[in-house]
Amino acid sequence: MANLDNLVLSKAQKWLDGDYDEATKQQVKYLIDNDKNELVESFYKDLEFGTGGLRGIMGVGTNRMNIYTVGFATQGLANYLKINFPNEEIRVAISHDSRNNSRMFAERVADIFASNGIKVFLFDALRPTPELSFAIRQLKCQSGVMVTASHNPKEYNGYKAYWSDGSQVTAPHDTNIIKEVEKITEVSQVLTGKNKENITILTEEFDKLYLDAIKQLSLSPESVKRFHDMKIVYTPLHGAGVRLTPASLRNFGFSNIIMVKEQSVLDGNFPTVASPNPEERKTMKMAIDLAESEHADLAMATDPDSDRIALALRNAKGEYVLLNGNQTLVLLMCYQLTRWAELGRIKDGDYVVKTIVTSNMPDAVAAHYGVKCYNCLTGFKYIAKVIREHEGKAKYIGGGEESFGYLPGDFVRDKDGVASCSLAAEAAAWCRDTKGMTLYEWLQDLYVKFGFYREGLVNVVRTGKDGAEVIQNMMIEYRSNPPKSILGSPVVKILDYKTLEAIDVATGKRSPIEGIDDKSNVLQWLTADGTRVSVRPSGTEPKIKFYFGVKADLPSVDKFEEVEAALDAKIEAIKNELGLI
């Protein structure tokens, strides 16, 4: 402990003696004199620039998000860009969400890039993450930065780095950028205050390009015309979707968009929710309550940087069901594939993409329509990688992941909540127009047609300095002694993404996992009855995630609740058998 205290005090003293602003020095001095615990938390390590960028609590210190840690990251990225593009004009795009300090961080990033002789396109105010991805491609940038901590609590902010295809950086750039960032250790290494003429401000005129690109995704304009006035409740959760999501809905032709007014106020404190995570029903409460009072067709939300979508749909009893990420993905993908087939647009080689921990239902739907379904590692950058690898060879239709992210079309290379909201609303209008049913009723019909797929998730948290070691030992044990059966059904195949091997349990034969060349510390157990259990340590938090997928036939819609309850009970029994509850 004494060594840790000495390390912390040494690092804090460096900030007191160094070229840091006076307000920062005063705050460091306050921590030294008054708040030992916070001082340790702020300085005991450096905020890590990981493969996705930075994310952390805001404050002073080496382990906090502030203009200095953001500056070190940006200078490292600038240096890497100059190494990679030595004889080119380097261009970057920058956006941010509604979080506290996001604008300040974005302007700092712009200043550093400009001071390094890089051409900067900075949005004049907050914009959704997908528009940042779109801007990189549209403006032929080599890189981009989105200042956001996604759906984390208000104390957090973050910094996502993008590459020239509009995707978050992947190998080898991710690890190579980290090496350059680690070389920046002094404030004096960070260039600032030069070449302001290198910064171009992007205004609402640029938004039209993005909105027009989304409009090209429309598949049922006649249905929208007939049901343009259906009631759509939308909440941006105090975030970046506040203007562009309703603008996109209007661009599609919808005229009755009901905003959750209290949550349409831009506020990085997210005052109306405990957490701005639309996966949680309590976060969606105001939208669902408003939908109930208005008898709306659907309620939808985007998270603070507007890359993810949440949908609440009315069932036959008039209750609003908050879909999970798998259900939202299935609905959007089924709508796209159904309409593409009806319009005669599906061609040989067309494909969709999902992650390995996402429901297997898209595989069945894609096979039905003669479309290839690619599976990839968890994280939208891997979906973008599949798109990049097939560019010019095959047509991407749509893709997503279980964590509430979907991307229709390929003009953006990250999940797109703005486009997904418009597509979901159009799907609801199409269902009413051509089938005389709600979107939720159509989802139930899809389960009858393709099978009732049901999913579950458990996060096992192991905090403290021993937490990471405990999690790693769990994975070692699972590799050495995998379950032989799950609820009495034998495990017939094991997929190990760390070695990229598929193991036939009966024969012991090992073969390569097809279609994936990136390794990840993930295990999957597949049983004879179609159950799938995936085990994956989180890359950013002290937790290990267990994903469950089960399936049953749904003979008719009137059996929906009965089969749903049986599948949920099966997932709970699996959790119990594995000792997770």
Q: Residue 551 corresponds to which tokens in the numbers above?
A: 């399936």
Q: How far is CA 39 from CA 13, 27, 60, in A?
A: 11, 10, 9
Q: What is the residue-wise DSSP string for 385-414?
A: HHHHHHTTTS-EEEEEETTTEEEESSSSSS
Segments in 406-534 forming alpha helices (H): 417-430, 439-450, 467-480
150, 264, 306, 422: the active-site residue: 150
For the CA atoms of 437, 279, 495, 397, the dihedral, rounded to the nearest 10 degrees, stands at: 50
150 catalytically annotated: yes
User: What gap in Å lies between CA 218 and CA 233, rounded to an integer?
Assistant: 20
Q: What is the residue-wise DSSP string for 39-59?
A: HHHHHSSPPP-BTTEEEEEBS
Q: How far is CA 133 from CA 45, 54, 472, in A?
A: 31, 18, 34
Q: What is the residue-wise DSSP string for 315-363?
A: -TTSPEEE--HHHHHHHHHHHHHHHHHHTT---TT-EEEEETTS-SHHH
The residues near 260 (Cβ < 8 Å, ≥ 6 apart) are 233, 234, 235, 286, 287, 290
Written as one letter, the residue type at 573 is A
- Residues involved in catalysis: 150
